[in-house]
Every structure is written in C-alpha cells, then in structure tokens.
Structure 1
C-alpha cells in the first residue's frame, strides 16, 4: 500500500504549465537528482505509465475550492499505486509539489541557506493516505527582503542576479509564503520583481515607494517633491507604475511619505500641524486608490501605518477607505508599538482598535537597522516568546489579512524566520516544541545541548532599557562606539552627545561613556560563558554539523563577545585619556581595535565555499567603519605624547635602561608602527590594565 518513487520515475504533467508551476517542477527535478542520482522523466498526459500525476482540480470533490488549496489522492493503475498531486490554482500546485519534496524527499525549506545534507536513497515509499491542505491563517504572508546588503555584495553583479534571488524566493515558497518585497530601492531594471512574479509570488511595495513607483527626486531631479505643487508629476509616476504592473499579482501599497523614507513635511514645512499632515496623506491615498480602481477591477490594496503615519491615524487625522487593508508595524524590536525615532520614544500601541473597520495586517521585524541597538548580522535579540506573544496578540485583534516579515539577508535569521512561518500557517506555535524540531532538522546530534545554547543566546543579549524588548543586537557595539569616537575627536567632551540620549538619558559625556562601559562589562560575562560552551560542543560535532553550527550560531555569539570587548576597551581608553595617561589610552584603544578585528575574523570564517564574499558589503553594522574610526582615534592619541618623532614612548617604556642614555639616534630612531608599539606597551602596562 505504498507509492514507490525511485530512479527514472515518470511524472505526468499538464499540457499547459504556468511559470510558477514550471519553477516548482525544476525544483523537483533538481531534488530528485540529489536523492536518486538522476532527474525524473516529465511527460504530458502519461497517466498510464506515471508514478506521480500532477493536475489542476476539475471539481470540488477532488480539492477544496479555495485559492492555494492542494491535495494528494491515490489510485491503482495496472496494480501499481499512483500519487495524484492536485492543485486548485497555480500556487496550490506549487505548494503541493513543495509539500511532496519536504514530506517525502525530506528536503528542508532552508536546505540552501543552512547547507543541509541530503541523504541519497534508492527509493522512497509514500503511504497511500489521502491528504488535504489546510488553509493558512494569514491571507497575504511573506518577506520584505530589506537592508539586504549581504545579498547585494555577495556576487559581482548589481543589481543582484537570479543566482542570488532564486534561493530567497524558493525558501519563502517552501515556508508557505506567497508575497514579497524583493529588495530595497533596487534599480527597476533588475530581475528581482520579475523573477518573484514568475515564481508565483504576489509582489508588494516598500511604504516609501507607493504603488512601486519611481522616487520623485530620481525622476524629477531638482524639483521640490511637493504633491501640493506638482500633483501632475507625482500622478504621472503613479500611472506609469500602475500600467507596468496591472496584469501581475500585486498587493498595492498606498502611502505618502517623503523622499528617502522620511516624513514628507521635511520638504513641505507648511504642513506644520497634525491636521494638515493627516489631511494631505488622506487626500493622496484616496487619489491613489481612485487611480487604481480606474485601471484595475477590485485591486488588492494596503496602507502601511508606519512611524508618523500610525500616530496621525491613531489621532484621527487620517481617513482610509475600508477597501484598503491597514498594516500596523512593530517598533523594529518585535513590540507592536511605534518605533523609536532618534531620542523620541512614545511607544504608542500599534494595533487596530475594536472600532477600526476593514481588514488589517502587520509588518514585523526579526531583523532591523536603526543605527542604535538593532540586529542585522545577528539573530533577533529578545526571547522568541516575545515574537509569539506579539504576533498572536495581533491575530487576536483581527490583523490576519497580511503579515510582512522583515527578513534581512536570510542566512543569519533562519530560526526566527522559520518560527514566524509557523505562526502565519497555523496562528500559534509552541516555542519549546518548535525549537526542538528546528534543532533536529539542522543538526544530527547533541540536540539537547544545542537547544540549551540557542535558548541561552536570547538570555545573554544586553538589556539596555526598562522594556522587555529593550535588548541589543550587534549594532549596539558599533554605531554607539563610532558616535563616541566622533564626539571625542571633535573635542566636544565638555558637551553631551545628544545622539546617545535614547540609551543613556541626558547625562554628561563621561557618564554616557561609563553607561556603555557598564552595560558591555555586564554583558560580556554572559556572552563569554556562552561562547566557551559553544567551543566545547564544537569539539564533539561531526564536520558538517561543526561548520553549520559555527556559521549559523557561534559566529553570532563571537560578534557579541568581540563587540562587548571592543566597546569596553574603547571606554577604558577614553577614561585614561581624560586623566592624560595617553600611552595607556593608546594601548586600550589598540585593544579595542584587536577585539573588533575578531568580529571581522568571525565573518570571514563563515565565508567558505558558496558563501565567499557574503559579508563583503557589510555597510550597515559596518565593522570596518568602526575599525576605521578607531585607527583614526589611535593616531590622534599617539599625537598627544609621542609626537613629533614617534619614538618617545618607546624610549620611555620599552627601551632597556642600559640603552636609554647611550643610544645613537641614527641607528635607534626607526618609529614602530602603531600596532607594534601598542603590543610592546601592553606588556609593560599589564598590571595597570587590570585596574
């Protein structure tokens, strides 16, 4: 009572195959080759000889009559059991084919991103038990591939080619997603949007690019980006975008923000009250919706209530037609409240009220970039329970029509991405069970130890504020360090650094430095403890598991450890500098450099094989920029006491006493490099460094 799938099996396919189904069949051919050593034979109308028959549903008895539905039915032909994969529509067939791959060929949705091994087999037995897909909870669900600098820099081609985008869209489909924003502000000529549509995904837009139109200032360089002054120019761009996409599956984003994802009144200062701002946004959104309805019958539309727009809507200043889905956003750290804007921290609840009519959805972050404390190269910093609670709370408020998840560069965020895919499928998730299953999918042994280490990660992140989501990603160690360095080099130590108020409050600069020092000092203890446990486990793992565990987990722990160490040494250096112990400050800043270099080494270590150059475009956390700043600072400090000949500290601290008074300048005056001098001084200052 089994369907037997083996080498050279025949798959019967429909005569007319859409591009989404063709892409799914390409995945089946590739995965069959991995499992059986050769591709299956695809034939049209070959039911009598096929092992698997693929077809669209002909009636409600075969398959549920709803979008994306699929089912598995079994029949005997010539005493041989046959699997029928039946789909209601294109995406139904795509999901059916991918379910077959995952369920019976045991190919994981993240096989590419996790470098997961595939077990070769001579045959696969499929029990003849009918299966009917369940409707996923969220209607439109997918990823915003945002801040995707690793994807951009990974290969030489720009904008990124099919080689980069195909694994992204494939993983999304395998996770049950059906919608994507394919990248951030990429050239319109790129393949990203076209390929996403070809693979069956609904394409949607960044809230700063309503209708997917060209940015005003790109199209009309030198013109003031004011809708009040140039409605015809804005509407020309919107018309062009509508005409270009009207025959595709689009979730149209209606919005009105300013250029570069900022409030529009930065360019139009006459809109100086909430009433004026809300009225203009309402007017523009109504006009965009009117233009869409003129061109398309029943367009699928949404409006991102993000940042200042959410606040204006909550205050009653923005009016949105009920036909437009309202999309609420978290604050970038997983909490459904308004995001922190610089030092402004209002935390206004960001979910629909009971009297909010129409459909609702959410835009949610498991990775974020805000130049303060966000996570970009490392995992979501708060415990996964926060993700579960906030998304389930959103569903309970009625926000089930849409879930757009900020997915970043994919590779670093596989665990939270997988977690959210369970939520958009089923509406809830058991965190404990899900983590255990995730670990078993990715690693072949030591599952209990691995599970404990993953749990520990979210407990070690630095808690920088009073809110449960005030936990630091790796950007905490870089953007704030660079702000301190810049303030220091600009000789502004006698004034506070306002850019740090969001974290420290309004306190003197030296106290701000001490605040970060203490946070990192406390955090380092936990991170080093976790890293030690990781290194012990690495010694026990198989070669494959060892590489995967390092790439997906240990490297992130190392980014936290090296970030803490680098920031601590920088703060020590500043304190030494304030008491004019310049040689010691020079050494401590050098130690900061050496620690941050460990961050680069961690990234480089995981750039093996197909991942070569994956971190080449680390422009957001930007470890190299931190090191550049520190190098400038170290040279500045050396100028304070070792100038002009750059020999004085060597003579005072390093040169043997017997040489100090008899050396000849023409043979002993070659200056040491900053690094060499710092290492020699470090040895002399070792006792002082412990204070």
Structure 2
C-alpha cells in the first residue's frame, strides 16, 4: 500500500506538550482481552472533532486487538469516558460528584487530563477519564490512548503497522497534559507540484483531480495525532485555492484545524491563482487598494473556521507582477 501514497514533506512546528502533575504511580487499565472490549463514552452534543477522535481511537484499537469498541453516550462497567469541560454532560457529572478535579485544566488552552478511577456505580469496574479544556484538548486526549497502545501518528501516511496484541492493557498515570509551548503549530504544504498534488489528483482524490476535502481530511488526521492545530494550505498554481472547494473549510472546522496563510496568500487571497495582474494591476494596497480589496472578504471565505491572516507586504520583491 505504501507505493499508493506519498511521503509527506512537512514542517512540524513545536509539537511538544508540557506534562504536569504526574502521580508517580501507574494504574493498569484493560482495553481488550479474549472476552472483553472497552466501551468509549462521549456526550452526543460533543464537538465533531471529539467524535472524529473517538472513531479514530476505536479503529486503532481494532487494528491492534482485533476487537472494535462501541462508541455511545452510556458509561459501561469498564470504559473510557471523554469529554470537554462544560460541554460534556458525562464529564461534568464526574466533576459535580467530586470524582474528578479539573482545577488545573478548566479554562486552559488545549489542556487535558488522564485519570483512572473506580467506577462509582460498579466498584469492580474502572473508568479511564479524559477531560479536555476545549474540543481540541479532548481529541488530543483520546488520541493519547492511541499512542499508548502503540499506534504511530504516521500509521496511515507512512504505513506504520502497529503490533497486534490480543490482551491489550495500558499503564495510566494520573496526569495533566498542559498547554503547548507553541500556540499555533502544524504543517505548511509547500512545493506540492511534484508530490502531494499529483498523488492526490491521480490516486486518492480523482473526483476533484486536486488536493481537496478528502485529502485534507487525512492531513488533518495526522495533525490531530501529532497534537498540531494549524494548516498552511497548498497554494501553488497547480492547486486550486483552499477556499475554492466549500467542503475544505467545513472539514477544517470539523477537525478543529486553524487555517493559516503563507507568503503567497496575503489577507486570505491566493495571488498565484486568484489574482490576475494583467486585468487587476499590481498586487499592492498603497497604490491599488480598490482592486486589492476584492480579495479581502470574498463570500466564499465566510465559514465557522479559525483563520490566520498574513499581513500585506509592500516590499518590491514580494509583489507579484
């Protein structure tokens, strides 16, 4: 299968996560055995990215153990319960019942905790609690379990096949994974002409013949597994601008990915593809503000997705003529 994919050339920025409050004592938690498979419980109202991460974890457990967990909003005897503080009825219930202390998690940026407790309703069972300060944090917490069972973040892109284990048990320390030292970090898809664009167009996404929502979804999966949160999209002339496909911005929001803009995309305008110098004149706001404003807030960019603007640069060698 490797030959049908590519090796993604990327810049990964500051993916380290601070770890605080380690208990020093690990608790064994059974994920799967010959007669058992864990349940994953998330609130029905959780953000889409949490649902996606739960699905990814369930598939990872299947690939390792041969058994796939059920995902529901019901807490079972032995289960993983994940939720965003203030958004998840399940997690908020543990907090209100004094079974979970989130004082060092609540209100923080991309911070989550892992903790194993006795099941309050069945002392013979155990609950692995994942409490996130925001939607991305909860997703990161779920995918931390994937790491713990031996699944590489590169399992799809680089065909890293995890070791199979019929009896799958992890040692969990009660700990808090604090806010990353770099707030916005991720991948810039640059020089895609020779690799990603051609591979996507001919192999993975022939329906668009381009890097479109299907390809971006797999890139965003990688970002979540790497605890990253930002994409600087492909922007060479061989690729249609990110906002050309309406589905791209929806997929970005589903995966809680911030959309950045590179040196060729000032103010969300891809000047390789969306700016015609012959018809629109020079790309510079100081002398051509009326035409340049066309790219500032076009209708197609309106979406519930976080964006990072690259400021206008009026330096001679940065102007597209």
| TM-score, with structure 1 as normaliser | 0.35
Distance 2:130 2:223 in 1: 21
Counterparts of residues 64-143 of structure 1 (less than 5 Å) = 64-65=105-106, 66-77=108-119, 78=122, 79-103=124-148, 105-143=149-187
The structure that is strand-richer by fraction is 2
Unaligned runs of 5+ in 2: 1-26, 86-91
Distance 1:192 1:199 in 2: 11
> Secondary structure of 1:250's match?
coil
Change (3 A) 1:232 1:47: same
> Secondary structure of 1:230's match?
helix
Residue correspondences, number: 261
Distance 1:262 1:28 in 2: 47
Q: Which runs of 4+ in 1 moved over 4 A?
A: none
Q: Does 1:176 align with 2:220?
A: no
> Secondary structure of 1:26's match?
helix
Q: Please identify the structure whose Cα radius of gyration is greater.
A: 1
Distance 1:216 1:168 in 2: 22
The structure that is helix-richer by fraction is 1
Question: Does the 8 Å contact 1:197/1:203 carry over to 2?
Answer: no
Shift of 1:209: 1.3
1:396-421, Cα deviation, whole Å (9 max, x unpaired): xxxxxxxxxxxxxxxxxxxxxxxxxx
> Secondary structure of 1:116's match?
coil
1:106-136, Cα deviation, whole Å (9 max, x unpaired): 1011122332221222232233531210322
- Which of 20, 37, 53 pairs up with 2:66? 37
Distance 1:217 1:32 in 2: 43
RMSD: 2.7
Shift of 1:211: 2.1
Q: Does 1:222 align with 2:262?
A: no
Change (3 A) 1:231 1:200: same
Shift of 1:13: 0.9
Question: Does the 8 Å contact 1:11/1:50 carry over to 2?
Answer: no
Counterparts of residues 171-320 of structure 1 (less than 5 Å) = 171-185=222-236, 186-187=239-240, 188-190=243-245, 191-215=247-271, 218=274, 222-225=279-282, 226-240=284-298, 244-245=301-302, 247-256=304-313, 262-264=317-319, 267=321
| TM-score, with structure 2 as normaliser | 0.72
Distance 1:30 1:165 in 2: 19
Change (3 A) 1:11 1:237: same
Question: Does the 8 Å contact 1:24/1:94 carry over to 2?
Answer: yes
Change (3 A) 1:17 1:50: farther
Highest RCO, 1 vs 2 (Cα 8 Å, sep ≥ 6): 2
1:502-533, Cα deviation, whole Å (9 max, x unpaired): xxxxxxxxxxxxxxxxxxxxxxxxxxxxxxxx
- Matched with 1:418 is none
Q: Does 1:47 align with 2:103?
A: no
> Secondary structure of 1:253's match?
coil
Q: Does 1:160 align with 2:211?
A: yes
> Secondary structure of 2:178's match?
coil
Counterparts of residues 663-674 of structure 1 (less than 5 Å) = none
Question: Does the 8 Å contact 1:70/1:92 carry over to 2?
Answer: yes
